[in-house]
């Protein structure tokens, strides 16, 4: 297959993924897909940090929360239109990521896991704290209005929001794809695989690690903002440690060292709990846990690496 | 002044809870070089087994020993069935499996034993608290048990061939295999021992926080932080770290920032300590190979 | 475990229900000649899964209704979904119930943040959102949210009752408060502040909080004792209320102790803490405790035991959660019967907001549920009770806010 044709096919696939649900899915299903985009971006951020950067982070939910609250506070207190909150959320979360990344990344491995884990645990407490209560709404959270489609487009709010999220998501996925293929991406992987050698060859470890961490946070922030707009509500209870663990599961299931893995992972964390619930209402958590372990057995590198291996086998067979 | 002393002592009591789970985390880390996120839930499940035995009429210490034995076997079986197949997979796959186990234990416990709070008996009696009411008998007893477990674990790794083999198998599996250490068996042994230590922790914690399927949810983070503060490779460090965690938390909550941010503050303090001394207070640096 | 009777596939496009605007009469959704669909969410997984028993109890309740012929010749199709106490998931599941399963109404969905997330949505969609399983103060706002009706007495009202009681009986109190740092706990803080106003900071010399993820509250109890207070208010879930009771006893502190109704359960709080350590604790109640000897032979309790034995044989009959669920399901049942043969959403909300005073089973003697178009809080009554040896001794009048 020549390269142009495959690129064309891919483009057709993307457009189909956008258009088919837009006109054939119900509002409820579009809402689910919008959530998939929000989670996929957060998982993608995690993939960059963990899969490509080799840093184990357990606190992606914290950045998701920062993004969500940035969007919510701007909309609620400053009447900023929803679309304008996305870049602000990205920048804010990216900055927070950089600031936390500096001390956190001096510690590697398990220590970073602890720091990020602690961060995820602390975020709900900080959101509730009385100093910030006027902004965050404290324990009550903030209720948001659902945006309507602009320019007189004949789309309902669910369709419009899906379209909007899809475009934002696609742009960021493209950006991530370019990033990992760039010099920075190369440096990131060098650090992951051979840290000492990389350093010896002049890669500035701390700088790249921190940068990666910031970029990973940025992606989660955008995801959080999109999620908040779609759900129409933020509260401390929306961003407990469970969210961070869910995003972690999304990363592991999808495949940490791949870009497309983030999409598979997000689909898994949105739809698999519903399936687990269909199987047993008594122990949906246990069913989900068992499915998770089974996936690890059959696709230890995640769905993306499984698919890649299959694809390679197909090519080799020809 | 009495208030301060009271907070410190109460912090030591709570900290010994964290320390007991920290010990189990260190055990499994020394044996496998991994952090088991399901450790707390496994301990909780063991405690339910003990409660079931006690309710069936088995005397406390009989139930205690039986629970240890059952947990030990269950830990080995789990390593064989769940972790062994992932031995060659990326590390993240194991972490995924740990999270899966956590969910399974938590949910199955709720289903089997209900989510209602259960009182769990203490072997140290209900008598009058000591030190002017600052410590209950159970708290004194459980601090003693934690110290006892510490001594045993330390001696095991320090003086026995088995302990050395266990550490070797985790540290350098290839070389260990060459000198004739059955690495796979060592890994399951480590899991078994960690599960048994966790079971002890569970039975000591339950009379204080009461038994329910989420009993360990809050404890695990503190235990994890405590273990790292003390140094993840050192049993003594785990205990010191866990206890310090309890004391810092109490003092931060009572005197510094108020209860709303005490956990956050305690964690910040620990992170700062780790930035200055990354191996923890008692830990050894893990050599990184090029 | 009982599965949902109707499993619509992922597509859901095949759902047979069509929204029929039945002329001027109103919107008829989720109701056919043979069936009424009711939607529900609660956490079956995650940290709050202990509340899953409410869903379990409801499913059993409607099964019994169906076994006895249903309502107005129709079987109840009760669809209960897991939201893991995550507001985002609640939105997803509720939208599924409304847009894909086409339920007639939403009943007793659990949690404050979770219901907050769908509050606006269900009112925009004009779906009856009835008898919520949360006692936050905000669910009675009939003006702005005419489709949402609460159920139990609000925490804030309850706290006001405690405040007035303390003020009357301990005029010179030096008080201290421990509350769970979330919407539930904050309502108690606000209720007490309502009563004491400017004096709150003077009377309450120490206010401390805990997180539901904490291991113990021992440190908080020590802090409160050190404040020199002689009145203690505990707004906590059973686990931590039990710890407070035990720790105050252990450290030899004997404050005048008032405790939230949430933790009044004998099995969940008093037994674990030790009944002798709870002597003198004051709380308020509106439900009969299943382990209270006083109600052992009351007809409603017997009927409930029969229900439990037949429909939830593995359920814990000491758990107040089942009692609560049974009482609120009864109220829903009454409203459905009151609808006659008109199950339009408009009529359902009209009937739900016109419930004449009725003594629901398992409410305390002389208590009534009742709603009017300008009163969306079915239960408003509480009675104070004091723990004595092995039971709650109720005292004083029934207090209706």
Predicted confidence at residue C11, as pLDDT, reads: 33
Question: Which residues between 9 and 68 in chain B have a beta carbon less than 8 angstroms from any beta carbon of chain C?
Answer: 10-11, 13-14, 17-18
Predicted confidence at residue A318, as pLDDT, reads: 65
> Partners for B (CB, 8 Å, 3+ pairs)?
A, C
CB within 8 Å: A125 and B92? no
3-state secondary structure chain A: CCHHHHHHHHHHHHHHHHHHHHHHCCHHHHHHHHHHHHHHHHHHHHHHHHHHCCCCCCCHHHHHHHHHHHHHHHHHHHCCCHHHHHHHHHHHHHHHHHHHHHHHCCCCHHHHHHHHHHHHHHHHHHHHCHHHHHHHCHHHCEECCCCCCCCCCCCCHHHHHHHHHHHHHHHHHHHHHHHHHCHHHHHHHHHHHCHHHHHHCCCCHHHHHHHHHHHHHHHHHHHHHHHHHHHCEECHHHHCHHHHHHHHHHHHHHCCCCCCHHHHHHHHHHHHHHHHHHHCCCCHHHHHHHHHHHHHHHCCCCHHHHHHHHHHHHHHHC
Chain B residues touching residue A107 (CB < 8 angstroms) = 271, 274-275, 278
pLDDT, one tens digit per residue, over C104-114 is 999 999 998 89
Q: Which of B85-99, C82-96, C160-174 has the lowest mean pLDDT?
A: B85-99
Buried b (16+ CB within 10 A) or exposed e, B107-144: bbbbbebbbbbbebbbbbeeeebeeebbbbbbbbbbbe
Report the gap between the CA of B125 and the closest CA in chain A (Å). 36
Report the gap between the CA of A7 and the closest CA in chain B (Å). 31
CB within 8 Å: B228 and A110? yes
Predicted confidence at residue C4, as pLDDT, reads: 37
Please state, rounded to an integer, the average pLDDT across all residues of chain A: 84
Q: Could you tell me the two tokens for B112?
A: 């089997």
Do C20-153+300-380 and C155-285 have matching folds?
A: yes
List for chain C the helix, strand, coil content (%; round to 5): 40, 20, 35
Please give the class, per CATH, of domain C20-153+300-380: alpha beta
Predicted confidence at residue B129, as pLDDT, reads: 73
- The β-bridge partners of C37 are C77
Banded pLDDT at A2 (limits 50, 70, 90): low
SS3 call for C163: helix
Asked if B210 is an interface residue toward chain C (Cβ–Cβ < 8 A), one would say yes
Banded pLDDT at C6 (limits 50, 70, 90): very low
ipTM here: 0.88
Q: Which of B106-110, B162-166, C375-379 has the lowest mean pLDDT?
A: B162-166
Q: Which of C248, C280, C251, C256 is nearest to C174 (CA)?
A: C256
Q: Where do the domains of chain C lie?
A: 20-153+300-380, 155-285
Chain A residues touching residue C2 (CB < 8 angstroms) = 281
Residue in A126, A249, A285 closest to B106 by CB = A285
Q: Which of A2-6, A57-61, C352-356 has the lowest mean pLDDT?
A: A2-6
Q: Which CATH architecture does the domain made up of C155-285 adopt?
A: 3-Layer(aba) Sandwich (3.40)
CB within 8 Å: B271 and A284? no
Predicted confidence at residue A141, as pLDDT, reads: 84
Banded pLDDT at C144 (limits 50, 70, 90): very high
CB within 8 Å: C243 and B210? yes
Residue in C44, C46, C182 closest to A242 by CB = C46
Banded pLDDT at C68 (limits 50, 70, 90): very high
Rounded percentage of chain A residues whose pLDDT exceeds 90: 24
CB within 8 Å: C272 and B118? yes
Residue in A111, A283, A300 closest to B108 by CB = A283
Does pLDDT of C327 surpass 90? Answer: yes
Predicted confidence at residue C391, as pLDDT, reads: 87
pLDDT, one tens digit per residue, over B39-74 is 999 999 999 999 999 999 999 999 999 999 999 999
Does pLDDT of B240 surpass 80? Answer: yes
Q: What mean pLDDT do residues B268-290 have?
A: 70
Q: What mean pLDDT do residues B200-215 have?
A: 91
Rounded percentage of chain C residues whose pLDDT exceeds 90: 63
Banded pLDDT at A3 (limits 50, 70, 90): low
Candidates C218, C220, C274, C316: best to mutate against B (most CBs of B within 10 A) is: C218
B33: left (phi over 0), alpha (psi -120 to 50) or beta: left
Cβ neighbours of residue A23 closer than 8 Å, sequence gap 6 or more: A159
Does pLDDT of C354 surpass 80? Answer: yes
Does pLDDT of C161 surpass 70? Answer: yes
Chain C residues touching residue A288 (CB < 8 angstroms) = 45
Q: What mean pLDDT do residues C378-386 have?
A: 92
CB within 8 Å: B97 and A196? no
Banded pLDDT at A18 (limits 50, 70, 90): confident
Residues C19 and C37: their CA atoms lie apart, in Å, by 13
In contact, C322 and C57? CB cutoff 8 Å: yes
pLDDT, one tens digit per residue, over B149-174 is 999 998 988 889 888 888 888 888 88
Banded pLDDT at C10 (limits 50, 70, 90): very low
Predicted confidence at residue C230, as pLDDT, reads: 93
Residue in C50, C251, C316 closest to B133 by CB = C251
Asked if B114 is an interface residue toward chain A (Cβ–Cβ < 8 A), one would say no
Does pLDDT of A262 surpass 80? Answer: yes
Does pLDDT of C24 surpass 70? Answer: no
Report the gap between the CA of C84 and the closest CA in chain A (Å). 9
Between B90 and B53, whose confidence is greater? B53
Banded pLDDT at A92 (limits 50, 70, 90): very high
């Amino acid at each position: 297959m020549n390269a142009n044709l495959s690129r064309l096919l891919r483009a057709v696939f993307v457009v189909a993924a956008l258009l088919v649900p837009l006109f054939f899915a119900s509002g409820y299903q579009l809402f689910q897909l919008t959530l998939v985009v929000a989670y996929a971006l957060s998982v993608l951020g995690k993939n960059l940090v963990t899969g490509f950067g080799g840093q184990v982070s357990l606190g992606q939910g914290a950045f998701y929360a920062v993004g969500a609250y940035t969007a919510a506070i701007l909309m609620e207190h400053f009447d900023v239109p929803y679309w304008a909150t996305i870049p602000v959320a990205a920048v804010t979360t990216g900055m927070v990521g950089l600031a936390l990344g500096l001390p956190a990344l001096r510690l590697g491995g398990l220590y970073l896991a602890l720091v990020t884990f602690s961060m995820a645990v602390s975020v709900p407490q900080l959101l509730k704290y009385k100093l910030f209560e006027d902004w965050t709404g404290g324990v009550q959270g903030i209720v948001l209005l659902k945006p309507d489609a602009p320019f007189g487009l004949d789309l309902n709010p669910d369709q419009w929001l899906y379209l909007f999220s899809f475009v934002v998501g696609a742009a960021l996925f493209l950006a991530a794809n370019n990033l990992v293929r760039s010099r920075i991406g190369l440096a990131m992987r060098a650090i992951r695989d051979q840290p000492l050698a990389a350093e010896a060859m002049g890669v500035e470890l701390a700088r790249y690690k921190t940068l990666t961490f910031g970029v990973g946070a940025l992606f989660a922030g955008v995801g959080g903002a999109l999620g908040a707009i779609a759900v129409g509500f933020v509260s401390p209870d929306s961003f407990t440690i469970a969210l961070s663990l869910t995003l972690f599961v999304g990363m592991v299931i999808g495949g940490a060292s791949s870009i497309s893995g983030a999409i598979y992972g997000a689909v898994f964390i949105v739809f698999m709990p519903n399936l687990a619930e269909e199987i047993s209402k008594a122990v949906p958590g246990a069913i989900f846990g068992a499915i998770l372990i089974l996936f690890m057995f059959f696709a230890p590198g995640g769905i993306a690496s499984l698919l890649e291996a299959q694809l390679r086998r197909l090519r080799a067979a020809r | 002044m009495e208030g301060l002393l009271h907070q410190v002592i109460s912090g030591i009591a709570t900290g010994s809870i964290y320390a007991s789970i920290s010990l189990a985390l260190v055990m499994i880390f020394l044996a496998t070089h991994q952090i088991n996120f399901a450790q707390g839930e496994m301990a909780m499940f063991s405690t339910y087994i003990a409660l079931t035995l006690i309710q069936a009429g088995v005397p406390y210490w009989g139930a205690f020993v039986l629970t240890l034995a059952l947990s030990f076997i269950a830990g080995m079986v789990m390593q064989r069935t769940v972790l062994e197949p992932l031995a060659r997979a990326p590390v993240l796959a194991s972490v995924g499996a740990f999270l899966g186990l956590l969910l399974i234990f938590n949910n199955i416990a709720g289903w089997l034993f209900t989510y209602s709070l259960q009182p769990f008996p203490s072997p140290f009696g209900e008598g009058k608290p000591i030190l002017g009411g600052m410590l209950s008998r159970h708290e004194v007893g459980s601090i003693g048990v934690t110290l006892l477990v510490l001594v045993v674990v330390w001696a095991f790794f320090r003086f026995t061939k088995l302990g050395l083999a266990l550490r070797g198998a985790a540290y350098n599996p290839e070389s260990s295999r060459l000198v004739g250490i059955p690495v796979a068996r060592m890994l399951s042994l480590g899991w078994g021992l960690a599960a048994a230590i966790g079971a002890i922790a569970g039975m000591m914690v339950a009379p204080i926080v009461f038994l329910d399927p989420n009993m360990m949810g809050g404890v695990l983070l503190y235990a994890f932080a405590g273990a790292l503060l003390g140094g993840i490779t050192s049993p003594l460090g785990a205990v010191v770290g866990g206890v310090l965690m309890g004391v810092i938390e109490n003092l931060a909550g009572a005197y510094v920032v108020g209860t709303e941010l005490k956990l956050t503050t305690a964690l910040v303090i620990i992170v700062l300590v780790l930035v200055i001394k990354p191996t923890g207070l008692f830990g050894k640096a893990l050599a990184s190979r090029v | 475990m009982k599965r949902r009777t109707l499993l619509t596939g992922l597509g859901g496009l095949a759902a047979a229900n069509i929204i029929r605007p039945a002329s001027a009469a109103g919107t008829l959704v989720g109701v056919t000649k043979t069936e009424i669909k009711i939607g529900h969410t609660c956490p079956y997984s995650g940290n709050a899964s202990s509340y899953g028993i409410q869903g379990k109890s409801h499913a059993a309740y409607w099964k019994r209704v169906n076994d006895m012929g249903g309502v107005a010749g129709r079987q109840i199709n009760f669809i209960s979904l897991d939201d893991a106490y995550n507001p985002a998931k609640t939105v997803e599941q509720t939208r599924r119930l409304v847009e894909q399963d086409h339920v007639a109404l939403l009943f007793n969905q659990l949690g404050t943040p979770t219901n907050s997330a769908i509050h606006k949505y269900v009112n925009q969609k004009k779906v009856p959102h009835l008898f919520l399983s949360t006692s936050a103060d905000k669910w009675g706002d009939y003006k702005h949210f005419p489709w949402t009706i609460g159920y139990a007495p609000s925490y804030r009202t309850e706290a006001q009752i405690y405040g007035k009681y303390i003020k009357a009986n301990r005029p010179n109190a030096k008080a201290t408060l421990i509350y769970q740092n979330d919407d539930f706990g904050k309502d108690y803080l606000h209720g007490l502040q309502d009563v004491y106003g400017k004096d709150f900071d003077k009377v309450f010399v120490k206010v401390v909080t805990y997180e539901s993820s904490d291991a113990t509250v021992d440190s908080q109890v020590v802090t409160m004792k050190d404040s020199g207070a002689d009145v203690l208010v505990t707004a906590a879930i059973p686990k931590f209320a039990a710890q407070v009771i035990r720790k105050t006893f252990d450290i030899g502190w004997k404050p005048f102790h008032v405790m939230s109704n949430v933790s009044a359960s004998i099995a969940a709080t008093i037994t674990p803490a030790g009944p002798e350590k709870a002597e003198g604790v004051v709380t308020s109640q509106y439900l009969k405790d299943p382990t209270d000897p006083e109600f052992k032979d009351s007809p409603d309790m017997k009927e409930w035991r029969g229900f439990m034995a037949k429909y939830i044989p593995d359920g814990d009959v000491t758990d107040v959660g089942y009692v609560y669920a049974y009482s609120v399901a009864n109220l829903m049942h009454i409203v459905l019967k009151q609808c006659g043969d008109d199950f339009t959403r408009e009529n359902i909300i009209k009937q739900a907001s016109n419930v004449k005073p009725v003594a629901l089973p398992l409410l305390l003697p002389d208590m009534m549920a009742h709603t009017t178009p300008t009163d969306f809080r079915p239960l408003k009554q509480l009675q104070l009770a004091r723990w004595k040896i092995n039971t709650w001794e109720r005292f004083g009048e029934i207090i209706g806010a």
